[in-house]
Structure 1
Amino acid sequence: MSPVSRGIAEQASTINSLHRLIDAVLITLCTIWAIGFTPSVTTEEGLALSAVAIVVFHVAAELSGLYRSWRGSRTGRELVCIALTWAYAVPVLLGIGLATKYNATLHYDTKLGWVIVTPAVLIAGRIVLRTIQRFIQARGFNTKTVAICGVNDLGVQLASNLAAAPELGLRVMGFYDDRPAARIRQIPAELGQRVGSLDELVTAARQGTVDMIYITFPMRAEKRIQDVLRMLGDTTASVYIVPDFFVFELLHARWTNINGLPAVSVFENPLYGVDGLLKRSADLILGTAILAVAAIPMLIIAAAIKLTSPGPVFFRQKRYGMNGQEIRVWKFRSMTCCDNGPAVQQATKNDQRITKVGAILRRTSLDELPQLFNVIEGNMSLVGPRPHATAHNEQYRSLIDGYMLRHKVKPGITGLAQVMGYRGETETLDKMEGRVRYDHQYIREWSLWMDLMILFRTFSVVLGQKGAY
Structure 2
Amino acid sequence: MESRHIFILIIVLIVLDALALNSSFVFLYSSGILDGHYSKGETTLVFIFFNLTWLLASLIIRTYKQANVQSIDSLFIKMLYTFVTQVLLLLIALFFIKRIQLLNSQTFYIIVAGFIATSTVRVMIYFSERLYPKINLHKKRIVIIGNHDLASRLEQYFLKNKLSFNLAGSFKDINTEVIDERNSKKINKLKDTVKFAIENNLDEVYTTQFPEQCQDLMGVLNLAEKNCVRVKYVTSFIQFKREEEAFADSSYIFNNYYDGIPILVNRREPLSSIGNRVAKRLFDIVFSLFVIIFLLSWFLPLMSLLINLESKGDALFLQLRSGKKNKPFYCYKFRSMKMNKDSNSLQASRNDARVTKIGAFMRKTSIDELPQFFNVLYGDMSVVGPRPHMLKHTEEYSQLIDQYMVRHFLKPGITGWAQINGFRGETKKHEQMLGRVKYDIWYMENWSLFLDIKIIYKTVFNAIKGEENAF
TM-score of the superposed pair, with normalisation by structure 2:
0.48
TM-score of the superposed pair, with normalisation by structure 1:
0.49
